[in-house]
Amino acid sequence: MLERLKKVDPLIVLIISAVIIAIIFPARGQFAEVFSTLVSIAIAVLFFLYGARLSTQEALNGLKHWKLHLTILMFTFVLFPIVGLALRPLTLFIADEMYLGILFLTLVPSTV
């Protein structure tokens, strides 16, 4: 049993712990506003540090895969929105708000 616990990824444990803490002690009021700002800053720093790790050569090599980038862009900004619009008949079975949520998910970039 202890061997299995040693193999558990600490990141997964921290994520689950954060969710449990947020359920028990949700952020409210002024603290929630400050915390939201801190989370946005932390995410920006995370993306910056991840990008800063890349060497210039690695970034340039990534640009050479233009067919892959074009395929991903087409799926994200053309195919997914078309699928979202094609699901409009679902409003016969689900609430309009639910459909708008589904449509929103098909319109935002995949990283969101």
Q: What is the pLDDT of residue 80?
A: 93
pTM of the model: 0.53
Same domain flag for 8 and 49: yes
Q: Are residues 49 and 69 in the same domain?
A: no
Mean pLDDT of 40-48: 90
- Shared-domain flag, residues 44 and 85: no
* Residue 112 clears pLDDT 60, i.e. is over it: no
Domain containing residue 41: 1-53
- Cα-trace Rg, the chain: 20
Pair (101, 80) in one structural domain? yes
Same structural domain for residues 49 and 78? no
Pair (30, 75) in one structural domain: no
Looking at residue 2, what is its pLDDT?
Answer: 67
> What are the DSSP E strand ranges found in the chain?
none
Task: List all residues 6 or more positions away from 72 whose beta carbon is below 8 Å from its beta carbon.
Answer: 110
Longest dimension (CA), the chain: 52
Q: Report the number of distinct structural domains present in the chain.
A: 2
CA distances from 96 to 86, 93, 108, 109 (A): 14, 9, 18, 22
